[in-house]
Amino acid sequence: MSIFTRLNELLQMLAARGRSTIDAIIDAVRTAWSGDPETRRRVAFSVAIIALSAKMAKADGVVTMDEVDAFRDILDIPAEETRNVFRLYDIAKQDTAGYEIYAQRLKDFCSNGDGDCPLLTDVLDALFHIAKADGLIHERELVFLQDIATIFGLSEQAFARMQHRHLEGPNDPYAVLGINPDSTPREARRRYLTLVRENHPDQLQARGVPEEFLFIATERMKAINTAYEQIAGKTAA
C-alpha cells in the first residue's frame, strides 16, 4: 500500500484525537501500527523526513524554492497528495517543541532500545540533500545536522564521511568511501563492495525506507560508484 495512504490515515487519526503536535504524531504512529512493525517503520521514516525538514527550514529561517524542489526530489508527491504531505510539514513547523526533542523521540522509537537503527542514517542523508539544495549548507543548517547526528548516535567519522559526500563529492573519493588515501586497491575494493551491499535499494527497503523515497539510495549509490571508479582509475594509471 502507498505510503501516501498511510500518511492520510495518520492525519485522520490526529484529527479524530484533536491533537496536532509532534508528540501526537509519534504516539499515533506507535499505537496505530503496533502489530505491523514493517508499516510502522515506513510511516516513521516518512514522518521523520517531513517533520525534520520542516524543523530545519525553521532553524534556517528561510524556506527557498530550491529546498522545496529538493524535498520533492526525495519524495515524488502526486499532485493530489501534496496538500496532505504539507499539512504534516506545517504541523511540525508550527509545533513549539524543538527539533532536538523530536529527534530523540524518533531515535528511541526507531531503535527500540537496542541503540542500532540504520534508518536514522537514511533520514540524515535526506536532510543533507535538502540543506545543500541552494548550493551550500549554511552555518545554522550544519549545526542542525550535527545536532541531529549526535542525537541519532552517528559517529563523528560517519558524519564527516556523509558531509564529504554531499559537499565535496568527486573531489574527495577516499572520504566518500571512508578509507585512507594510502589504502591498497584490495582494501578499496573490499570497502566498496561493503558499501554497495549496505546501500542497495533492496537493503534500504528491508529496513523500512518506503519505495517512494528510494531517490536517497539512488543518489548514494551514484556517489559511491563514482568515488570507487576514480580511485580504481588512479591505481590503474
Residues 45-67 have pLDDT tens digits of 888 888 888 888 877 666 677 77
**Per-residue cell: 222:** 551514484
**Per-residue cell: 122:** 537514511
Decide if 45 contacts 122 (C-beta within 8 A).
yes
Q: How many residues does the chain have?
A: 237
The pLDDT of residue 86: 86
> Quick one: pLDDT band at residue 192, thresholds 50, 70, 90?
very high
Q: Tell me the residue range of the domain where 137 lies.
A: 3-236
Q: Write out the H or E segment, with its range, that includes residue 219.
A: helix 215-236
| pTM of the complete model | 0.80
Cα 78 from Cα 148, distance rounded (Å):
29
The pLDDT of residue 114: 43
Decide if 57 contacts 140 (C-beta within 8 A).
no
Average pLDDT, the chain: 83
Across the range 133-161, mean pLDDT stands at 87
- Encode pLDDT of 194-236 as tens digits: 999 888 878 877 777 878 787 888 888 888 999 899 998 876 5
- Least confident window among 27-36, 96-105, 225-234: 96-105
- Rounded to the nearest 10 degrees, the angle between the axes of helix 37-60 and helix 65-74 is 170
What's the number of domains the chain is made of? Answer: 1
Cα 11 from Cα 27, distance rounded (Å):
12
Closest CA to 110 of 59, 197, 195, 52: 52
More confident residue, 195 or 109: 195
